[in-house]
Amino acid sequence: MVARRQGDEPDDCLRLGVALPASEGKRRLCLAAPRSSIQSHRGPLSLREVIDAGPGDWNDALHRLAEAADAIALEPGVYGSFAWQVLTGQGYLTSSSDIDLLWRPRSAAQLDALTGLLFRWERETGRRADGEVLLPDGDAACWRELRRESPRVLVKSHASVALRARSDLLNAFA
């Protein structure tokens, strides 16, 4: 997984993050690789790609989430432990695991519907959804922070992390 730049890597390198499975202590490795050594890349897995490949006790909850996402015309990307387990076949998920989702709403109304959907899904299924919303400028913020009424939200870009006015982020969807 490509990680946020720290500023000390050469321009021709990517910072990469690799998570190890639970049996290896869920350690995280950070390394840099020359862009020329990357043989292929892809975006996050789709929710539909992980439903049947994930643990059976998640199946019903993930189908419900996919149906709810379809109803608001959004398809989340899946990253984190769920994606690592599906991609590698190794045991990344534990009984306390959540699912990390990346969402791309196109309007403030769709964002509001999304955050409401996620709170309901968590309450109804007993599962937890973490993850981020891609903002119109390409930066990302945690969906929970966008739902809360706090005046400032932590926003991540490819090169930095900063607090920004929540109202500015919501207005960007207008």
Residues annotated catalytic, as ranges: 98, 100
CB half-sphere exposure, 76, CA atoms < 13 A = 34
Beta-bridge partner residues of 53: none
Distance CA 41, CA 127 (A): 29
Contacts of 103 (CB under 8 A, 6+ apart): 74, 76, 77, 114, 131, 132, 133, 134, 143
Q: Rg of the chain's alpha carbons, rounded to an integer?
A: 17
Identity of the residue numbered 147: R
Non-local (6+) Cβ contacts of 89 within 8 A are none
Q: What are phi and psi of 57, to 5 degrees?
A: -75, -10
